[in-house]
Amino acid sequence: MRIGSAKETYAADTALFDSATQHAWVAILLVALVTFPFVVDDYWLYLACLVAINVASTAGLNVLTGYTGLVSMGQAAFMGLGGYTVAILQIRFGTPMLLNLLAGGVVAMLAGLVVGLPSLRVKGLYLAIATIAAGVLAHFIFSHYTSLTGGTGGLTLPPAQIFGLELDDSFKLYWVIVPITALMLLGVANLFRTRIGRAFIAIRDRDISAEVLGIPLLPYKLLSFAISSFYAGVAGGMFAYFFRAVTPESFPLLMSIFFLASVIVGGMGSVLGSILGAVFMTLVPEVLKLVVGWLPLGDNAMLVLSPVRTIVFGLMIVLFLIFEPHGLAEVWRRVRRFFHLWPFKT
Amino acid sequence: MITKRTLCATAVATLAALTLSTSALAQKAKVESKEDIVLGGSIPMTGVFAFAGIGVDQGIKDYLTILNEKGGIKGRKVRYVPEDTAYKVDQSMAAFKKITSQNKVNLYYGDSTGFARTVNPELERAQSMLMTGASFAKELSDEKKYPLQFMVGPNYSEMVGILLQYIAKTKPGAKIALVYSDTEFGRDPVDAARTDAQRLGLSIATEIVTPPASVDVSAEVIKLRRADPDYTIFHGYVSAPIPEFINQAKALNLKTAFMGTFWSMDNSTVMRMGPNVDGFLGVMPYRYYYDTEGKAPMLERIRKMRPEYQSTAYTQGFLSAMLLTEAARRTLEAGNELNGKNMKVALSSIRDFDTGGLIGVPLSIKGNSIPIGRIYRADFKQQKMLPASDWINLQK
């Protein structure tokens, strides 16, 4: 806790941002996010949009895995459902972007409710396998329901439009994707100030005790699945608008593992962890490429160092798991604690 | 004594100095090469397609070395700017964005069908680039949908078409089995194969779909035995499960002849399948590294530059660079602006072009693909793919 910031009310105690310093940092972050597109090139804008999409999906998975303790390997499939819903609505009906994204989220949410049903009976690895099955099923539908999904060739979307403006590049999409992600993060952060969020945490910590305390497990577990897959669906919809193409191979099992790794590396049960995890997993390979590019190794640098870069990335994840199992969020908290308590030793 | 703090400070200072000096050098290089023509590349140097990406990368580099030694294109050097993609569409797009935002790119090499599809709107928006790549998907042959892209060879449907034409000539009325992976890559030529087979009087005895790179194919081989085809065409694989099919078929004394398409036809890939692969047939749009028949000065040059065997992916990269830069050369020589549309028009003006023997016949470009290929047969004793037919041109 920050020195000299005693809480006098419950509201103050549960506030998302509890001090003037934090408000100032949030304001700085907002200004940075607004000015960012004007000072960077297309490459960084592309990465910013990609990070935002991944943050949204990771935040959803963190609700399910980090806060409720239910392991899911179906996040990519839910993203696929959202992506395909958005693509079909956009191509066939030309409905507004925001409505399509909402529909993408709802379709994924409904699928999440079905996939979540086994969660009352099975947990841990067993549930993970059940959710993998959902992914396989989704892939089969994407590949074989050709009249709707375009089969293995998938669907190509026209650019999204808002008020007649075509969102056909990263700069324009940034102004939609980043605010939606911010809104979704705010939603998750607020969720855990409510009874529902606390019920999720209680289920994670000990489901039998939670039930004894009056938390009906099935509705809450299903609700957690629903929220998580809704987030994945919206993220998948943004993915579809961003890449303007969806195919069955756009949402592989490896993508689900990517999000699970983001949750673990970032920090389970933490909104900040979702952000840091997704940023880490998306940007570290790119940053490593930049570092490799700086090394004066001549024309064959890429050939020699590409595998090294992949090894370094893998190693970084392993080292994180060994030395900081609570994830990047804990590192962040430790750094903050250092400054809060400075000049006293933490 | 060196304290932790001193060590950290030294490390930070060194890193900062290195960063500043290298960025200064990079900036200087950028200024110096302002007039260069840039060939960007989303190249899979890691990941499942790295076996091909490394060859493609070297092929592009070597052709540009030869071109630049001769003075480049109208005095302008061609600079190659690749980025690794790990064969992932999002990383390929990141590479594209990075390369195009830091360089004025006119020519581009992409690594997959997914990337070609995803980048297409960007190409059309920029209108400044001509692109080719590693994909031979039929979809990319659509000139209206992909006006600024082309492929260096026949599309997958045309590859199977070449195989079927060879079969129809060698054994009229033959029975064919199609074995393909349950992927976009695998399913790509299937519809066209059915139509072509019917047109050529061949019958499709069975179609077998497997997961990509599957290992256990016993049930599929039994299905194959029941169908008893004269020829079995594999598509959508690089290697597995082809060797498993061939070994089990051999054990069951099946008489079918096995065939493959481009990505399973590299000499080293085929020979790694083992002795049972002897007689394996397949379509190849280019001459192999070691081919000595006919006049092939470019192959001789390659052999001089690289005395060790170079894969067919290398040749694909080499030829991609050759055709991309040829389009740029023709555009500049016509006094036109170097943009995507002009370069595509220039590319389409190529008639009876001599590739220096990389392709055994002069090539003319009509549309987005070059439907020329030849059937090669594996000779395990010689460890070589040897010609089994003349060059087959579907344009004729």
Which pLDDT value is given to residue B28? 42
The percent of residues above 90 in pLDDT, for chain B, comes to 84
Which pLDDT value is given to residue B126? 93
pTM for the full model? Answer: 0.86
Which pLDDT value is given to residue B19? 43
Nearest to A262 by CA among A27, A79, A135: A79
CB-CB contact of A209 with A200 (8 Å)? no
pLDDT tens string B78-121: 999 999 999 999 999 999 999 999 999 999 999 999 999 999 99
Choice between B257 and A326, residue whose per-residue pLDDT is larger? B257
Q: Determine whether the interchain pair B18/A294 forms a contact, defined as Cβ–Cβ distance below 8 Å.
A: yes
Q: What's the mean pLDDT in B131-137?
A: 96
Q: Does position B342 have pLDDT exceeding 90, yes or no?
A: yes
| Interface residue of B21, B46, B102, B141 to substitute, partner A, most A CBs within 10 Å | B46
In this complex, which of B46, B82, B98 lies closest to A310 when CB atoms are compared? B46
| Interface residue of B14, B97, B109, B142 to substitute, partner A, most A CBs within 10 Å | B97
Q: Is the ipTM of this complex over 0.90?
A: no
The amino acid that residue A213 corresponds to is: L
Which pLDDT value is given to residue B31? 43
Q: Does position A2 have pLDDT exceeding 70, yes or no?
A: no
CA distance B235 to chain A (A): 15
CB-CB contact of A266 with A275 (8 Å)? yes
Which pLDDT value is given to residue B24? 42
Q: Does position B7 have pLDDT exceeding 70, yes or no?
A: no
Helix (H) or strand (E) holding B226: helix B218-227
CA distance A131 to chain B (A): 20
Which pLDDT value is given to residue A292? 77
Work out the angle at residue B59's Cα, subtended by the Cα atoms of residues B54 and B62, and round it to the nearest 5 degrees. 125
pLDDT tens string B143-166: 999 999 999 999 999 999 999 999
Q: Does position B201 have pLDDT exceeding 90, yes or no?
A: yes
Cβ-proximal residues to A245 (8 Å cutoff; 6+ apart), any chain: A154, A155, A156, A157, B114, B117, B118
Q: Determine whether the interchain pair A152/B183 forms a contact, defined as Cβ–Cβ distance below 8 Å.
A: yes
Q: Determine whether the interchain pair A303/B45 forms a contact, defined as Cβ–Cβ distance below 8 Å.
A: yes
CA distance B8 to chain A (A): 17
Least confident window among A323-337, B231-245, B251-265: A323-337
Dihedral of CA atoms A316, A273, A172, B342 in degrees, nearest 10, equals 20
- Residues A191, A205: Cα–Cα separation, whole Å: 17
Which pLDDT value is given to residue A309? 77
Beta-bridge partners for A341: none
CB-CB contact of B176 with B230 (8 Å)? yes
- Residues A281, A268: Cα–Cα separation, whole Å: 15
B298 exposed, middle or buried (CB, 10 Å; 0-12, 13-18, 19+)?
Answer: buried
Q: Determine whether the interchain pair B93/A143 forms a contact, defined as Cβ–Cβ distance below 8 Å.
A: no
DSSP string covering B9-65: HHHHHHHHHHHHHHHHHHHHHHHHTTT-EEEEEEE-SSSTTHHHHHHHHHHHHHHHH
Which pLDDT value is given to residue B272? 95
